[in-house]
A and B are shown apart, each in its own frame.
Chain A
Amino acid sequence: MSKELNIKLYKKLYLIRRIEEKICEYYPEDEMKTPMHMSMGEEAIVVGVCQALNNHDQIFTTYRSHAAFLAKTQETDYFFAEMYAKDTSPLKGKGGSMHLCSPENGFMGTSAIVAAHIPVAVGCSFANKYQKNNKVVVVFFGDGAVDEGNFWESINLACLMKLPIIFVCEDNGLAVHTHSFQRRGYDSISQIISKFNCRVVESNSTDVEEIYNLSRDAINSSRAEFKPCFMNFKYYRYLEHVGVNYDFDAGYRSKDEFDEWRKKDPVIFQYNKLLSLNVSSIEIKKIEEGINKKIEGSLLKAKKASFSEVGELYRGVL
């Protein structure tokens, strides 16, 4: 177990969690006018997977994109500037929370139409293979996306074309408020995907290092063998589908489930792992303070910046 790696992973987990806590704190001010689909609970998946990627590798994700964006890019200034729709954001407020994009960091975009980004990721992967540039594409999606035709068309295509692409299902068992058992005429998605010509990996771990190890193996072999891989990671969505609040009073799920998952919260789990690796709580606190400072700085900068100019509306349509 590498101490250095685990510190790195903790830093990313903490950054993402703390940023989202800040969003929860500031969102009621109503200055971030963009619907928030929060990542809380899934941090270990994106951090583990993205840690296994090279900088030039490419990812696509969904409207629930905060964690993946931060894990891949670490761009906190960019992130908050876009949440506040400020001129300092490269996106100038055209994307918002649901449509972040940073191609120079390999963050190729998102879709708020469930599964619509999956074939786009497959096309990117095709181009990478054609251009022989050794890049791997990872596409993240929720288990709701598996209900969509686009998912099945895409996995078939990637297997047919033997592409270096990883399909990562962030499986929280919910499509908005509808449980997977209410949507599926089968029991195990992994079992079905295993009939395709691809690798299948399954885990319900919240241990970021374990997810990193699984991902590293999957990504390396996909890169080397031009073979897609499907990874199914279970997690628990802490907050409501959209918004910054808990919704256990809504009746579609129980708080008991949350309490169970909370026991293995990915950030706390990793914190405890650092302690077990003889990183002192003082050292951890120092790391956290550095990150807090960075976040605070990015947030204040974004709040102070001016909005992008109105003429931006017409720019870049064609």
Chain B
Amino acid sequence: MRKITYCDALREAMIQEMERDAGVFVYGIGVPDHKAVFGSTRGIAEKFGRSRCFDTPLSEDAMTGFGLGAALNGMRPIHVHIRIDFMLLAFNQIVNMISSYKYSSAGQLKVPMVIRAIIGRGWGQGFQHSKSMYAVFAHIPGLKVVLPTTAYDAKGLLISAIRDDSPVIFIEHRWLYWQEGDVPQEPYTIPLGTGNIIREGQDITIVATSWMNVEATKAADILSKHGISVEIVDPRTISPLNDELIIKSVEKTGHCIVADNDWVFCGLSAEIAARVSAKCFGKLKAPVERIGFAQTPCPTARHLENEFYPNAIKIIRLVEKMLNLDPIDLSKEEFYSHEKKFKGPF
């Protein structure tokens, strides 16, 4: 099958939906400029014109309400934020307006709107360009929250999000943009609320989100050389959260780590750990463990940043602890970094 990058998969999803439906439009700060939001909107303004692909004033809150208004009148806006941190300026519109508009109108109105936001680290991006925040959005009833991991997911989930009649927060990790994967040319959908088994295994389940699937896969590769078989489950949509795959997997392995690309405290990992503990009680051979960002703002310096983020090494050390293994010598292993990009495939 044809291989394209995650970034091009996103772009193709938007283009194909804009061709299909004249009500779809894409807007946001920098969307039509020469950098085109890391390339994800490249060529769209040229192809569809500035009435359907446009830049905006630096008014995140109003531009979010603007999208809501357009959606109420039957359009399908895609609002893009180059960093999710900027989306916090729109928290009022997202939480007080968008999430509850359909409900408060008792279904007389619907809100078919997508908000794309990019998360992830560069080097030294610091505490205002590095958040994930998705658990915060998932906490709000009335929003769907989607975290595509593979290039295939990026296209199929974005098309589903655009066609969905509810507001969807669509969160893309910057470091996933470079990976190539099999992506069909023709439009296809992946239903929101379905997970994906990234890797099958027997000994331990790692529930991973977004970039953490790459780290978990790296950890699993290394652990497999030492006889440990890891199953990786990617929920893909965290709200609504369908936990069937997760529960089935943990029932099989009896061990569960939630590797989340976000803060641990009050985060998605707590929700998943609670569900696994309740639904797999009796089948668990050890308590559910969680791994995620340090409970600090994100520092700028590389050595501190490395400590802040969860990674494959931390996953391996946690697996060793849970399964009572001797520490593996990792000195000869290579791990992903800002310079050593993950280019796929999964």
Chain A: residues with CB nearer than 8 A to chain B? 58, 90-92, 94-95, 99, 101-104, 108-109, 111, 113, 116-128, 130-131, 149-150, 153-154, 156-157, 160, 312, 315-318
B64 neighbours in A (Cβ, 8 Å): 119
A119 neighbours in B (Cβ, 8 Å): 59, 61-66, 68-69, 93
Q: Is A156 a contact partner of B59 (Cβ separation < 8 A)?
A: yes
A92 neighbours in B (Cβ, 8 Å): 106
B105 at the interface (CB under 8 A from A): yes
Q: How far is the CB of A21 from chain B (nearest CB, A)?
A: 27
B227 at the interface (CB under 8 A from A): no
A125 neighbours in B (Cβ, 8 Å): 69
A113 neighbours in B (Cβ, 8 Å): 92, 96-97
A126 neighbours in B (Cβ, 8 Å): 66, 69-70
Q: Is A150 a contact partner of B69 (Cβ separation < 8 A)?
A: no
Q: Which of A103, A116, A154 contacts B92 (CB 8 A)?
A: A116
Q: How far is the CB of A68 from chain B (nearest CB, A)?
A: 16
Q: Which of B63, B92, B141, B166 contacts A157 (CB 8 A)?
A: B63
B142 at the interface (CB under 8 A from A): yes
If A101-B108, A119-B66, A157-B66 touch, whether A130 touches B103 (CB-CB below 8 Å) is no
Q: Is B68 a contact partner of A103 (Cβ separation < 8 A)?
A: no
Q: Which of A94, A123, A128, A318 contacts B106 (CB 8 A)?
A: A94
Chain B: residues with CB nearer than 8 A to chain A? 25, 51, 56-57, 59, 61-75, 77, 92-93, 96-97, 101-109, 141-142, 144, 166, 240
B74 neighbours in A (Cβ, 8 Å): 127, 131
Q: Is A108 a contact partner of B106 (Cβ separation < 8 A)?
A: no
Report the Cα distance A157→B67, complex, angstroms.
Answer: 12
Report the Cα distance A257→B77, complex, angstroms.
Answer: 47
Q: Is B97 a contact partner of A116 (Cβ separation < 8 A)?
A: yes
A316 neighbours in B (Cβ, 8 Å): 102-103, 106-107
- 9 nearest interchain CB pairs? A123-B69, A119-B65, A153-B62, A127-B73, A153-B59, A119-B62, A123-B66, A124-B69, A120-B69
Report the Cα distance A206→B302, complex, angstroms.
Answer: 66
Q: How far is the CB of B314 from chain A (nearest CB, A)?
A: 35
B68 neighbours in A (Cβ, 8 Å): 119-120, 123
Report the Cα distance A111→B57, complex, angstroms.
Answer: 23
B62 neighbours in A (Cβ, 8 Å): 118-119, 122, 149-150, 153-154, 157
If A103-B108, A317-B142 touch, whether A150 touches B57 (CB-CB below 8 Å) is no
Residue of A nearest to B98 (CB): A120
7 sample A-B contacts, Cβ–Cβ < 8 Å, listed by A number: A99-B104, A101-B104, A116-B97, A119-B93, A154-B65, A157-B59, A318-B144
Interchain pairs with CB closer than 8 A, number: 142
Q: Is A101 a contact partner of B72 (Cβ separation < 8 A)?
A: no
Q: A117-B65, A119-B63, A131-B74 are in contact. List 20 more A-B contacts (CB 8 A).
A: A94-B103, A95-B104, A101-B109, A113-B97, A118-B65, A119-B61, A119-B93, A123-B65, A124-B73, A131-B75, A150-B62, A150-B65, A153-B59, A153-B61, A153-B62, A154-B66, A156-B59, A157-B57, A316-B106, A317-B142
Q: Is A120 a contact partner of B59 (Cβ separation < 8 A)?
A: no
In this complex, which of A122, A150, A317 has the most chain B Cβ atoms within 10 angstroms of its Cβ? A317
B101 neighbours in A (Cβ, 8 Å): 109
Residue of A nearest to B240 (CB): A318
Report the Cα distance A17→B62, complex, angstroms.
Answer: 34
In this complex, which of B25, B104, B240 has the most chain A Cβ atoms within 10 angstroms of its Cβ? B104
Report the Cα distance A94→B106, complex, angstroms.
Answer: 7
Report the Cα distance A124→B97, complex, angstroms.
Answer: 14
Q: How far is the CB of A32 from chain B (nearest CB, A)?
A: 18
Report the Cα distance A160→B96, complex, angstroms.
Answer: 26
Q: Is A149 a contact partner of B61 (Cβ separation < 8 A)?
A: yes
Q: How far is the CB of B90 from chain A (nearest CB, A)?
A: 10
Q: Is B105 a contact partner of A109 (Cβ separation < 8 A)?
A: yes
If A127-B75, A153-B59, A317-B141 touch, whether A122 touches B105 (CB-CB below 8 Å) is no
A312 neighbours in B (Cβ, 8 Å): 106
If A153-B62, A160-B57 touch, whether A124 touches B72 (CB-CB below 8 Å) is yes
Q: Is B65 a contact partner of A103 (Cβ separation < 8 A)?
A: no
Q: Is B72 a contact partner of A120 (Cβ separation < 8 A)?
A: yes
Q: Is B72 a contact partner of A123 (Cβ separation < 8 A)?
A: yes
Residue of B nearest to A98 (CB): B104
